[in-house]
């Protein structure tokens, strides 16, 4: 037997095209984001082939929690909020666009982009700090649902951290793993040995 994790990023948010670091700011899903998640929910249901998710866990931020509600609904579940699944705090960069950050903090932004392990957003959470709260939280969920199928709905930044952990990818290369809005990755845990079956599958909305 094995435990299967469906790791999902929330759908697109209002103002998503502006490319802002939202971090801990609570931003609602857009209509496009809701449709993205609905399609992802349909994909997961088809992939389960008549089986059910045992639980759906979510970050407390509404964009993840509302996405989780759509994922959970077909199974009669309510999302379980876990504060450790929240997105990285981006310090004084929160709410700023990439262009604004690059303009006001060019050196710090370049250092962060080149090596997010050894450099952090100004006044924000480091990649090591994100790893140290997110990986244990996921491991607890996997242990709690041994031999079951479970979903986690969180954020691009933290999802990359667990994918690096599973794949053995050095954390400084986390941005080499894409996480599209409403994308799902499937990881199967055989005892303590994880196998990634699918990474960053996103149902397109045209």
- pLDDT per residue over 15-62, tens digit each? 777 778 888 899 999 999 999 999 999 999 999 999 999 999 999 999
pLDDT at residue 116, as a whole number: 86
Q: What is the pLDDT of residues 127-176, one digit of tens each?
A: 999 999 999 999 999 999 999 999 999 999 999 999 999 999 999 999 89
pLDDT at residue 205, as a whole number: 63
Judge whether residue 206 has pLDDT over 70.
Answer: no
Confidence class of residue 196 from pLDDT cuts 50, 70 and 90? Answer: very high
Rounded Cα distance between 202 and 41, Å, is: 11
Could you confirm whether 145 is annotated as catalytic?
no
Q: Which of 18, 31, 35, 87 is catalytic?
A: 87
Rounded Cα distance between 159 and 166, Å, is: 11
pLDDT at residue 47, as a whole number: 97
Could you confirm whether 87 is annotated as catalytic?
yes
Q: Which domains does the chain have, with CATH numbers?
A: 3-88+126-201 (3.40.50.1240)
Beta-carbon contacts of 116 under 8 Å, excluding residues fewer than 6 positions away, are 127, 171, 172, 174, 175
Helices (H) and strands (E) in the chain, counts: 6, 6
Q: What is the pLDDT of residues 133-142, one digit of tens each?
A: 999 999 999 9
Q: Please provide the average confidence, as pLDDT, over all residues in the chain.
A: 93
pLDDT at residue 1, as a whole number: 79
Give me the sign of the Cα torsion angle 6, 159, 179, 100: positive
| Nearest residue to 151 (alpha-carbon basis) of 3, 6, 1, 4 | 6
Rounded Cα distance between 61 and 81, Å, is: 9
């Amino acid at each position: 037997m094995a435990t299967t994790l469906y790791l999902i990023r929330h759908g697109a948010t209002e103002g998503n095209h502006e490319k802002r670091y939202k971090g801990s700011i609570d931003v609602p899903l857009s209509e496009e984001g809701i449709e993205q998640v609905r399609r992802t929910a349909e994909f997961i249901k088809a992939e389960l082939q008549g089986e059910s998710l045992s639980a759906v866990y979510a970050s407390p931020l509404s964009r993840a929690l509302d996405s989780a509600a759509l994922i959970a609904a077909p199974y009669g579940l309510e999302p379980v909020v876990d504060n450790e699944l929240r997105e990285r705090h981006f310090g004084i960069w929160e709410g700023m666009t990439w262009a604004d950050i690059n303009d006001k903090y060019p050196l710090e932004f370049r250092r962060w982009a080149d090596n997010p392990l050894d450099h952090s957003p100004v006044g924000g959470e480091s990649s090591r700090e994100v790893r140290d709260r997110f990986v244990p939280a996921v491991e607890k969920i996997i242990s709690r649902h041994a031999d079951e199928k479970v979903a986690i709905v969180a954020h691009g930044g933290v999802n990359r951290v667990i994918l690096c952990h599973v794949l053995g990818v050095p954390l400084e290369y986390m941005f080499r793993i894409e996480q599209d809005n409403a994308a799902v990755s499937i990881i199967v845990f055989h005892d303590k040995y994880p196998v990634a079956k699918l990474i960053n599958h996103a149902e397109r909305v045209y």
